[in-house]
A = this chain, B = another copy of it.
């Protein structure tokens, strides 16, 4: 933070990282940048939270490791957002497995970077966060793009177009009557299609159809 005044455009940083060498490298490098001021560096989530109390200027951007002793970076996300509602949290981790990535995003992380990210690139990413972006390492982003591609293993694959229309109606919460109206069919025709859908999907109620069709990896 040095002697320079903290002017408005400066981004105040918080860093949570248990490995001493990495923490110091991050702090020193980033604090040396004119755009950043590192206001709090901690070796654990608990330490970080405790340190917040004594700060005159709160961080607006927190860089957090995931594999921490005590409360993990992901577990601490909710608390962090409560204590620093204006701050954004960027995860920095050696782990890039889908579980952790999704859980972090779900808990409100604004981005997710590999720990191997070189410092100058990391700086770029931090600036992007400040500019409204959400930096993700490519391998992290790959999990995300995969998530959005459900039609590959979609259980609705074996259904005819008409049957899929019906299923869409069910997913939208419509009654048989409303589905019939929407598709311009008779009630009994809707019944027929649904019967067929039930046979193909091996179920016997509308809610089961929904449960089957949105078969996401149960990450939630």
Given A207-B174, A210-B207, A211-B173, A134 contacting B138 (CB threshold 8 A): yes
Residues of B within 8 A of A149 (CB): 105-106, 108
CA distance in complex: A175, B211 (Å): 12
Asked if A200 is at the interface (CB within 8 A of a chain B CB), the reply is no
CA distance in complex: A206, B207 (Å): 7
Beta-carbon contact of A134 and B128 below 8 Å: no
> Size band of the A side of the interface?
35 or more
Nearest chain B residue, comparing its CB with the CB of A210: B210
- Pick from A12-20, A41-49, A140-148 the stretch touching chain B: A140-148
A93 → B minimal CB distance (Å): 15
With most chain B CB atoms within 10 A of its CB, the pick from A142, A208, A214 is A142
Chain A, 115-163, CB within 8 A of any chain B CB:
125, 128-129, 131-139, 141-142, 144-145, 148-151
Binding site for B on A (CB under 8 A): 102, 105-106, 108-111, 125, 128-129, 131-139, 141-142, 144-145, 148-151, 170-175, 203, 205-212, 214, 220
